[in-house]
Amino acid sequence: MWIPVVLTRQDYQGSPLLLIIIFLGIFGPGIAGILLTYLQGDREQWRDFWLRMLDIKRIRPLWYAVILFFWPAMQLLALFLNQLMGGIPSESELIKEMIKQPISIPVVVLLYFLQAGLEELGWRGYMLERLLPSWGALKSSLIVGIFHAFWHLPMFWVVGTNQSKMGLDTDFLIFVIQTIAFSIYSTWCYIGNDHSTLAVTLFHGVGNLCLDIFMVAPGTMKYNIFTLFMVAGAIIVSLVWLTRTGEQKAQLAEGR
């Protein structure tokens, strides 16, 4: 869907048609997840697929704080250290547009969460759910993260996207690392809320919104600091997670 947009060499934001095509491409993972669930599953699996997306009761109360404040806290900490070290602060185009047209804020926020939901039906709702029984939490996170990163590849040639401002050398490698770290956080959120696709959709939407609000531009000191925080946090989550998972497996083995 995105390759024809690449070939136009036009800014997709300046054309309603190109914008629609970009959004249709974003639907891809979700559509794939829905189709494969219905083709491969039975009624009970169909019901479970949609319950994981729609059942708000699966989200634990404490996780609302994590979902809402994890990404803003990480961004603010990166911003603080960036200024402390003499980095140049960046200006957010999204904030400027919101100030100019405050009436558009609810629509913009809704679109961010809609985009996240259409992705997560595929990434976590289908793909991760199928990988977990065979590969476990960490390996499944790495697999989904790699596929998620390379799914973005055409975006590096679409004029007007965040990815088009990056190169295909170091910046692309950093992008892949960030996406894998994000996948680890997402699996943590997904499993921590009884396999809730809705929880990870909210987590994903807040993360994307914060990226544009705080304007983390590739190649800047703030971008590098933010990346280090993402990776360090993902390592901590993985280590704590693996330890707890190992203890639970040992307890189950003893029970048998």
What is the pLDDT, as a whole number, of residue 89? 66
Region of 208 on the Ramachandran plot (φ > 0 left; ψ -120 to 50 alpha; else beta): alpha
Q: What pLDDT does 242 receive?
A: 64
Report the distance separating Cα 98 and Cα 201, nearest Å.
23
Amino acid 254: pLDDT: 45
Q: How far apart are CA 255 and CA 249, in angstroms?
A: 10
Per-residue pLDDT tens for 22-59? 888 999 999 999 999 999 989 999 999 999 999 999 99
In this prediction, residue 90 has a pLDDT band, given cuts at 50, 70 and 90, of: low
Q: Which residue has the higher pLDDT, 25 or 162?
A: 25
Statement: residue 207 has pLDDT above 80: yes
Contact 121, 34 (CB under 8 A): yes
Closest by alpha carbon to 85, among 226, 193, 212, 183?
226
Q: Does pLDDT of 218 surpass 80?
A: no
Q: Which residue has the tokens 């603080």?
A: 80
Assess contact for 123 and 201: CB atoms under 8 A.
Answer: no
Calculate the average pLDDT of the chain.
Answer: 87
Rounded (10°) CA dihedral 116, 39, 131, 57: 50
Q: Tens of pLDDT along 117-134?
A: 999 999 999 999 999 999
Can you tell me the distance from the alpha carbon of 215 to that of 94, in angstroms, rounded to the nearest whole number?
Answer: 8
Share of the chain above pLDDT 70, in %: 89
Bigger pLDDT: 172 vs 218: 172
By the 8 A CB rule, do 152 and 16 touch? Answer: no
User: For the purposes of burial, counting CB atoms within 10 Å of the CB of 12, is it exposed (0-12), middle (13-18) or buried (19 or more)?
Assistant: buried
Cα separation, 83 vs 129, whole angstroms? 41
Q: Where do the domains of the chain lie?
A: 3-255
Handedness of CA 251, 253, 254, 256 (dihedral sign): positive
Position 256 pLDDT exceeds 60: no
CA dist 51 to 28, 44, 48, 55, 199, Å? 20, 10, 5, 5, 12
Spatial distance between the Cα atoms of 109 and 104, rounded to a whole number of angstroms? 9
Dump pLDDT digits (tens) for 95-111.
667 667 777 678 888 98
| Residue 255: per-residue pLDDT | 46
**What pLDDT, on the 0 to 100 scale, is given for residue 249?**
46
pLDDT, residue 250, reads 42
Confidence of residue 170 (pLDDT cuts 50, 70, 90): confident
Q: What average pLDDT does this structure show over 73-99?
A: 78
Residue 20 pLDDT exceeds 60: yes
* Mean pLDDT of all residues in 138-162: 92
Residue 161 binned pLDDT confidence (cut-offs 50, 70, 90): confident
pLDDT score of 240 more than 90: no
Distance, CA of 198 to CA of 51 (rounded, Å): 9
Per the CB < 8 A criterion, the answer to whether 58 and 202 are in contact is: no
3-state helix, strand, coil in the chain (%, to 5): 85, 0, 15
